[in-house]
Structure 1
Amino acid sequence: MGVEVSRLSNGLTVATENFPSVDTVALGVWVKSGARDERDEEHGMAHLLEHMAFKGTKRRTAFEIAAEIENVGGEINAATSVETTSFFARVLYEDLELGIDLLADILTESRFDPEELRREQHVILQEIGAAHDTPDDIVFDRFTETAYLKQTIGRSILGTPETVKSFTSKDIHRFMERQYGADRMVVVAAGKVDHYSFVRQVEKRLGSFRPTATSVPAPQSVYTGGDYREARDLMDAQVVLGFEGRAYHVRDFYASQVLSMVLGGGMSSRLFQEVREKHGLCYSIYAFHWGFSDTGLFGIHAATGGEDLAKLLPMIMTELQKAGQHIDQQELDRARAQYRAGLIMSAESASSRASQIARQLLLFGRPIDREELMDRLGALTVDRLTDLSSRLFSSRPTVTAVGPVETLASFEEIAGQLGPEPIFHRIAV
């Protein structure tokens, strides 16, 4: 039957996809509100709210939330991203009503108890410290901060110790009331689920949820690019070279996804073969493309010893320039097959499928069927990928590096190899 979608009287979107061959259901509530929707003084609030959602409601203690789901062998969790927050569960199909009730309870009746808040603030401070002590985490935080200088879209999701310690229970309640409305939320279930029965149960528990969020949309992002390098006494250097990518809605989004696989999507990719296998200049290298609602980031991450850093980036940039001149049909076919297989494999997981449907509903307002996605992939040509490469990699770069970075080429040299010298921002630590 495919994906079925209904809309409640308060505007809440409810969607299901039935997998008749399984006996479980993955369900969740996805909210179009994330880290980029925070005010300056709220940095880290979306992530803290996600943590606090499981710390007790008017009906259940924190222990009772955990015990009730685990008593039936289920799972419950949440996640915060730049643009969304999700609360999800996985249960046996006969326990679906309990899953709905628990998720609705934490969204409508959370207490955000001050004592629980103090404990969870301490946990997040430890999380911030652990991220700072992990070079391959911190280099990505600095990458987004540099790519979108002084903008909420580029900030770390975790927040800072100062902001996290400042939050009160009232602050969290106000943030949730401002950001969470039925018009920005979708409820999705995938697995052994009857659509109309699920809709009735969601209506019962969330049909009276406030219809609209009152906050204004996050400001339009502006890609700035720039340079950040942090010298640390480490055995290896973590480096990310990036460029402005493509938003979900634009024509080149899927082309950018496939291009990242051509360049660094596996052991047969260009960068892996040329940089790691043939020249041994790093022990890890891959390319990625992140799409957002109004922008994107295309990047290459590599980890190498300090003695190879001077040769590493010039070789990466040479491969990027080559991609703007020629891509083999075989490379495109291989990357397209990888992407296609990933879509099909994820569709066989109820949890992955529920998340995919939710993202599509929040971003496009409708589920996108597999045939449409395959048509988009099938329309890609080598000419289109080479044209995209020449445009992407001649734009203003973002360079971030953590570790023994003394031999890394200057930003001017890196930018000069890629194209005309751009306006840039430099941060040195």
Structure 2
Amino acid sequence: MQKPPLSSLSPEAVSQSLSQAPQRSVLDNGVRVVTEYIPYVRSISIGVWVTSGSKDDPPSQKGISHFLEHMFFKGTARRDAFQIAHSLESLGGKLNAFTGKDVTCYYARILDEHLQVAVDVLSDILANSVFAPEEIEREKGVVTEEIRDLQDSPDELVHELFVQSLYEPHPMGFSTLGEEQTVSHLCRDELLRHKERFYNAENIVIAAAGNVEHDKMVEVSMANFHFPQVPASPNSPPLPPPALKIKQIKKEISQVHLCLGRQACPYQAPQRYPLLVLDTLLGTGMSSRLFQNIREKLGLAYSVYSYLQLFGQTGLFGVYLATDPAKLPKAVELILDEFVTIKKDGLTKEELYFTKSKLKGNLVL
């Protein structure tokens, strides 16, 4: 039964309709479906999340998770690569994917009337991709250029080196893109084995937000996504203990790009809340301590910020800075001084209030 438009509802009914909490169901095969119904929009965003990423890459196959993600867009039994791209773009929608340390996501954004098209395309690429040998060889060239592009971008490369230093030799320290040598040796059988091992019902979360009711999303998920049920994959090896490390790479450029920080808590740990407050106070936005003290007051850098990344097994807290080599010692001294000051003096009540307010606003916006 079709719901009446919001314009025909009372203010109380509208308020109730707009405040629906996310809903969660588990399908018979173990796939989890999570939705947030937002009836006042005309669009739907859908993500098929796989709880596997570059941390699951074998050392001899670094980059296989990311490469596999690319290959899901290179042709199925029903669609070639162009038809996959054209299927949603021709409707004004978007289709894309990304690979992280411990997740891979395939997502679409479409008008609500095109829900079935998006689900059909997503389910088709994840179930029926053919991994044609000629496409694999062609894509190796694409990913190789992506790796080289990273190497030529010091502001991005420094974050890779930072994560590598925190976690090596653990797979969490592997580059998501992999290495030219490991990518060049990937073969079709290895891709299929990796898919079989990790693309199973237990590792899948289907998330949708927008003008789609939960029961409808459950219905189309049951009808279209048929991920196999297989035994759980072994857990990742234990993480290395925190240790002081310094890693440097020299490049013929005018600035120094620096990351400093340490391991942090996983995303489900209660410590994530004070860490979010710390990150917001220290290095988020133009009013943050680092921005004010290093850029605004002393002009030591153009770009300086802190950041927090939380994963299933671990996390990291870091500070990024780009500056002239001659200014680096003073800038690092000021960053470390801020850590010492916060540890020694904490936050004032006023700082805590405004930082919480800023954080809440950022989360909502």
Indicate whether 1:218 and 2:239 are aligned: no
Distance 2:200 2:213 in 1: 25
Tell me the secondary structure at the aligned position of residue 20 of structure 1: coil
Aligned-pair CA distance for 1:118:
1.2
**Structure 1 segment 91-110 matched on structure 2, within 5 A:** 91-110=110-129
**Letter aligned with residue 236 of structure 2:** A
Q: 2:160 aligns with which of 134, 141, 148?
A: 141
Aligned-pair CA distance for 1:265:
1.1
Task: Judge which range, 324-333 or 38-47, deviates more.
Answer: 324-333
Indicate whether 1:302 and 2:321 are aligned: yes
The answer for the alignment partner of 1:161 in structure 2 is 180
Tell me the secondary structure at the aligned position of residue 247 of structure 2: strand
**Letter aligned with residue 355 of structure 2:** A
Distance 2:90 2:314 in 1: 43
Question: Is the contact made by 2:308 and 2:316 (CA closer than 8 Å) also made in structure 1?
Answer: yes
How high is the TM-score relative to the length of structure 1?
A: 0.78
Q: 1:332 aligns with which of 352, 358, 361?
A: 352
Tell me the secondary structure at the aligned position of residue 25 of structure 1: strand
Q: Deviations over 1:217-247 (max 9, x none)?
A: 2222223441101222211110111122222
Question: Is the contact made by 2:256 and 2:324 (CA closer than 8 Å) also made in structure 1?
Answer: yes
Indicate whether 1:184 and 2:226 are aligned: no
Same amino acid, percent of matched pairs: 36
How high is the TM-score relative to the length of structure 2?
A: 0.91
The answer for the alignment partner of 1:68 in structure 2 is 87
The answer for the alignment partner of 2:4 in structure 1 is none
Distance 1:58 1:248 in 2: 38
The answer for the alignment partner of 1:264 in structure 2 is 283
Q: 1:122 aligns with which of 141, 146, 150?
A: 141
Indicate whether 1:254 and 2:273 are aligned: yes
The answer for the alignment partner of 1:18 in structure 2 is 37
Aligned-pair CA distance for 1:296:
1.6
Question: Is the contact made by 1:180 and 1:212 (CA closer than 8 Å) also made in structure 2?
Answer: no
The answer for the alignment partner of 1:343 in structure 2 is 363
Aligned-pair CA distance for 1:214:
4.6
Tell me the secondary structure at the aligned position of residue 231 of structure 1: coil
The answer for the alignment partner of 2:6 in structure 1 is none
Distance 1:221 1:189 in 2: 33
The answer for the alignment partner of 1:150 in structure 2 is 169
Distance 1:149 1:194 in 2: 44
The answer for the alignment partner of 1:231 in structure 2 is 250
Question: Is the contact made by 1:145 and 1:154 (CA closer than 8 Å) also made in structure 2?
Answer: yes
Task: Judge which range, 194-203 or 114-123, deviates more.
Answer: 194-203
**Letter aligned with residue 159 of structure 2:** F
**Letter aligned with residue 302 of structure 2:** Y
Tell me the secondary structure at the aligned position of residue 325 of structure 1: helix
Tell me the secondary structure at the aligned position of residue 82 of structure 1: coil
Distance 2:231 2:188 in 1: 19
Distance 2:57 2:263 in 1: 23
Question: Is the contact made by 1:184 and 1:212 (CA closer than 8 Å) also made in structure 2?
Answer: no
Indicate whether 1:277 and 2:296 are aligned: yes
Q: Deviations over 1:348-392 (max 9, x none)?
A: xxxxxxxxxxxxxxxxxxxxxxxxxxxxxxxxxxxxxxxxxxxxx
Task: Judge which range, 67-76 or 172-181, deviates more.
Answer: 67-76
Tell me the secondary structure at the aligned position of residue 105 of structure 1: helix
Distance 2:217 2:268 in 1: 30
Question: Is the contact made by 2:202 and 2:232 (CA closer than 8 Å) also made in structure 1?
Answer: no
**Structure 1 segment 276-425 matched on structure 2, within 5 A:** 276-326=295-345, 327-345=347-365
Tell me the secondary structure at the aligned position of residue 216 of structure 1: coil
Tell me the secondary structure at the aligned position of residue 313 of structure 2: coil
Distance 1:246 1:195 in 2: 32
Q: 1:54 aligns with which of 73, 84, 87?
A: 73
Distance 1:140 1:220 in 2: 22
**Structure 1 segment 37-52 matched on structure 2, within 5 A:** 37-52=56-71
Question: Is the contact made by 1:146 and 1:224 (CA closer than 8 Å) also made in structure 2?
Answer: no
Q: Deviations over 1:131-169 (max 9, x none)?
A: 001111111111011111211101110000011011112
Aligned-pair CA distance for 1:212:
3.0
Distance 2:198 2:61 in 1: 12
Distance 1:184 1:328 in 2: 43
User: Which ranges in structure 1 are unaligned for 5 or more consecutive residues?
Assistant: 346-429
Q: Deviations over 1:5-31 (max 9, x none)?
A: 221111111122111111111012001
Distance 1:53 1:335 in 2: 42
The answer for the alignment partner of 2:8 in structure 1 is none
Aligned-pair CA distance for 1:294:
2.2
How well do the aligned residues superpose, as a CA RMSD in angstroms? 1.3
